Amino acid sequence: MKKLLLLVLTLFTLNVFGQDTTNTKNDVDLLTSKLNKLHNKISTIDLDISKLKLNLDLKKITKFSTIYGAVNGGTSLSNVDVYSVTDGLQTTTIETPYDYSVILGVRKIARMGYEPKEAFKNGQENSFSDASTVGKVKGFEYLFEVSYVRQEGENYANQHHFLRYIDDEYILKVEYLEDGFADIKYFEASQRYRYKVEDLDKLDFLPEVLQKGKLSLNIGAVQRLSEPYGYDPLEEWKLSNGNLHYTFLALEEGYNANFISHGIVQYTDPQGNIVAENTEIWEAVAIPQVLSDYTEKKRNELENTIQHSLVLGFDYYYYSKKLWLHSWGNLMPWHYDDKGEFSYHKFNNGEQWYDYSGGLIFGYKYNKNLGVFIEGKYNKYWNREWHDFSFGVNYIIF
Q: Exposed, middle or buried: residue 311 (CB in 10 Å: 0-12, 13-18, 19+)?
A: buried
Distance CA 167, CA 241 (A): 57
Q: Strand, helix or coil at 154?
A: strand
pLDDT band for 24, please (50, 70, 90 cuts): very low
Question: Letter for the amino acid at 241?
Answer: N
Mean pLDDT to the nearest integer, 318-330: 95
Q: Cα dist. 12→137, 139, 173 in Å?
A: 25, 21, 15
Cβ-count burial of 316 within 10 angstroms (0-12 exposed, 13-18 middle, 19+ buried)?
A: buried
3-state secondary structure of 149: strand
Identify the helix (H) or strand (E) that includes residue 182.
none
Confidence grade of residue 264 (pLDDT, cut at 50, 70, 90):
confident
DSSP state of 56: -
Q: For position 11, what pLDDT does the model report?
A: 45
| Interval 59-98: pLDDT, tens | 777 888 889 999 988 888 888 888 777 667 878 888 888 8
> What predicted TM-score, i.e. pTM, was given to this entire model?
0.76
Give me the pLDDT at residue 61, please: 78
In DSSP terms, 393 is beta-bridged to 372
Give residue 172's identity as a one-letter amino acid code: L
Closest Cα partner for 13 from 193, 232, 169?
A: 193
Band (231; pLDDT cuts 50, 70, 90): confident
Query: What per-residue confidence (pLDDT) applies to 344?
Result: 92
pLDDT at position 323? 94
Q: What is the mean pLDDT of residues 319-336?
A: 95
Residue 102: beta bridge partners?
71, 148
Residues 6+ apart with CB under 8 A from 292: none
Helix/strand number for the chain, H first, E second: 7, 17
Q: What is the DSSP letter of 30?
A: H
pLDDT at 283: 87
* 8 A C-beta contact, residue 116 and residue 148: no
pLDDT digits (tens, 9 = 90+) for 338-374: 988 889 998 898 899 999 999 999 999 999 999 999 9
Short-list 285, 387, 315, 8, CA closest to 132: 315
For β-strands 256-259 and 384-395, DSSP reports them as unpaired
User: For residue 214, how many other CB atoms are within 10 A of its CB?
Assistant: 16
Pick from 372, 263, 278, 367: nearest CA to 325: 372
Give the model confidence (pLDDT) of 185-211 as tens digits: 999 999 999 999 988 888 888 888 888
Helix crossing, 2-17 with 30-43: angle to 10°? 130
**Segment 315-336 mean pLDDT:** 95
